[in-house]
């Protein structure tokens, strides 16, 4: 599985339509997606799952109204239950020394432990896309969401105990057995386990709200500075764990901290607002913002780490009411450089 910062052919999205994911706040959500599409389409293809022609027409009108050039935007008639493409979308793997250098992994999807049925449409999205693209598809037969893992593209994977070891995913599997699935299907050989996720995260602790690889040996990880905040102790524990971790070659990780925004609440519910939920595209990094006093520190930190990309902050105080942000709604499609090294084989 390539790292997210490696060259993309495009980004996959599932267009939002489930108003109950943002109860009372759905109206601004399509506009946030439209801005995201506009920024991404300047740098790579954007592939959008929609229910059918009527939804495509509606989205095209919205994109036109927002001034987006849709020449790099492609629509696919794959109906979904919800918009969280990171978790239900295709995870692409590749092997440039074989005749068919790219394939799709279709992990089982059960809506984060059966929390939000129905999820039957989301569960089949990777296989539908693989068939449309004429790509091989592998089905491990276990439950796993894309937001629960992060890789450096060189053999190391980050995840959390609170999610992957949760009995609402794969209760019959032990930790060593889950690790074997990760090695066999993602081509990793070194697995790093963090502990608990952040408050308000209904995924049971996805790593993409905590810690992210930004190059082969560097991770950014969020920390909470207020000892009275419920995120303080679990984030300090994760920071301590990272300090003792190495990459696949035994070299210590370089650990950079990101702040946490001030606690964000809506209708009495703590929301999982985190600057770690950014998305890395070809020429841009999309950063969710929530808190002007701390947004700039997070943006500046990432800008220093991604000098060839523009880090763009977009207000996600409405989007995160759905309990996710930019990384949760995107899934990268790597650009395959095949045996000839032309970069065209994946097209």
Gap between the terminal Cα atoms of the chain: 18
Number of H helices, E strands in the chain: 10, 18
What interhelical angle do 29-41 and 53-65 show, nearest 10? 80
Place of tokens 């999807």: 109
Q: Give the helix ranges, DSSP H, for 213-291.
A: 232-243
Token digits of residue 150: 């992060």
Helix (H) or strand (E) holding 50: strand 45-50
* Whole-number Å distance between alpha carbons of 305 and 295: 16
Instruction: Give the up-direction half-sphere exposure of residue 137: CA atoms within 13 A in the CB hemisphere.
Output: 18
Contacts of 268 (CB under 8 A, 6+ apart): none
Q: Which of 135, 126, 152 is nearest to 249 (CA)?
A: 152
Long-range contacts of 323-326 (CB under 8 A, 24+ apart): 323/200, 323/201, 323/202, 323/203, 323/271, 323/272, 324/84, 324/86, 324/147, 324/272, 324/277, 325/273, 325/274, 325/277, 325/288, 326/36, 326/277, 326/278, 326/279, 326/286, 326/287, 326/288
328 labelled catalytic:
yes
Residue 137 has φ and ψ, to the nearest 5°, of -130, 135
Q: Point out the catalytic residue in the list 85, 163, 316, 328.
A: 328
Residues marked active site are found at 328
């Amino acid at each position: 599985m390539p790292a997210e910062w490696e060259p993309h052919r495009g980004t996959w999205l599932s267009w939002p339509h489930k108003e109950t994911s943002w109860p009372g706040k759905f109206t601004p959500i399509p506009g946030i997606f439209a801005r995201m599409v506009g920024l991404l389409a300047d740098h790579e293809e954007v592939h959008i799952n929609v229910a059918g022609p009527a939804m495509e027409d509606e989205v095209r009108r919205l994109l036109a109204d927002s001034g987006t050039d849709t020449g790099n935007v492609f629509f696919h008639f794959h109906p979904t239950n919800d918009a969280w493409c990171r978790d239900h979308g295709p995870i692409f793997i590749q092997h440039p020394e074989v005749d068919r250098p790219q394939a799709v992994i279709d992990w089982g999807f059960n809506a984060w432990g059966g929390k939000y049925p129905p999820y039957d449409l989301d569960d089949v999205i990777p296989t539908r896309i693989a068939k449309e693209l004429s790509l091989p598809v592998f089905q491990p037969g276990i439950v796993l969401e894309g937001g629960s893992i992060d890789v450096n593209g060189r053999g190391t994977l980050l995840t959390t105990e609170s999610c992957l070891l949760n009995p609402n995913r794969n209760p019959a599997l032990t930790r060593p057995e889950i690790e074997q699935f990760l090695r066999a299907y993602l081509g990793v050989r070194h697995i790093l386990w963090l502990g608990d996720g952040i408050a308000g995260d209904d995924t049971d602790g996805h790593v993409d709200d905590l810690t992210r690889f930004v190059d082969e040996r560097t991770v950014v990880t969020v920390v909470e500075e207020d000892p009275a905040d419920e995120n303080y102790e679990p984030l300090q524990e994760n920071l301590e764990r990272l300090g003792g971790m190495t990459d696949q070659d035994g070299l210590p990780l370089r650990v950079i901290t990101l702040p946490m925004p001030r606690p964000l609440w809506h209708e009495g519910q703590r929301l999982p607002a985190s600057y770690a939920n950014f998305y890395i595209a070809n020429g841009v990094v999309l950063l969710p913002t929530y808190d002007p006093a701390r947004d700039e520190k997070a943006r500046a930190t990432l800008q220093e780490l991604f000098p060839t990309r523009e880090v763009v902050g977009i207000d996600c105080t409405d989007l995160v009411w759905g309990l996710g942000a930019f990384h949760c709604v995107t899934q990268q499609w790597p650009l395959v450089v095949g045996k000839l090294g032309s970069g065209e084989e994946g097209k």
